[in-house]
Structure 1
Amino acid sequence: MARLREREDLDAVLLVRRVADPRRYGVIEGSASRPFAGVRRFDVRAMLEKPARPRSHWAATAIYAFGPAIWGVLREHARHRESGELEVTDGIAALLAAGGRISALVLDPGMGLWKSVGSPEGYAAALQASRTRALHARPHS
């Protein structure tokens, strides 16, 4: 991800995954681009957090490679929020609105374990999967 961002001077590279119910995620809209290192890729046009009517099934996995521009954008957005909280999706949307260049790489289900932790049930499932993998990775005596 970082190699792609640096090589093409992108503002960010996101890792995305196709999901059945995109209303529960930050969703990207984009157009297919040439693959990178054999991995499917999109040029990102928009990112919306938990849209009521998603236009795609591509959910951000919360794995990002950002360039330096994100920090100024996040600081500016935090100033305008009552809570002062930094929202990554706001930063990505602001980068895009300012003409930023963002790509997304597709996480294929066969590339490894990914679990959503955006709900208590998802968090519990991720903990259980992590525990199970750790137990099976230990040598048996």
Structure 2
Amino acid sequence: FLIACIFLIVHGLKFNSKYSFFYLGGGIIFTPFYLYITLWCLPGFKPGKVLLTIVPGDKGTVIGKRSTVSIKNIRNIDLIRNPINLINDIVIETFDDKKVKIRTYNLLDDGDFQVIVDQYIFPYMTENSRKIWDRKIDLDKLREEDNYVRREHKIE
């Protein structure tokens, strides 16, 4: 969109159409907004960027850039859009009342996030956390859109 705004400004400055003022006005009005969004998302374009690492298991962990959370310590996990920069963050609430935010740079879709949590984190969560997660997701919708079926996991 930033490139489109620059395109509009350039063609608006040529004044070879009766819509040139609209091109110029639209390009000038929207350029600051799209420049802001582009600058916030640039770190996500680094090749090889790792958003988070999940180590599954009874003593499993979720490792972000700045913090590590034990899967057994997760009370709630959700994908929330930040209203300031419009980027989705994974927010993990722990039993010791801490909130861990992991920035996704909008690289992780909502459906993919639900599949990842349900497949790798859900089997090792506490019983109360599983109930909360089950209320949040729609397994029928995941089956239709992402072809995902939850496997039965044996918890020891």
Structure with greater strand percent: 1
Q: Which has the higher helix share?
A: 2
Range of TM-score over shorter length: under 0.3
TM-score scaled to structure 1, two decimals?
Answer: 0.23
TM-score under structure 2 normalisation? 0.22
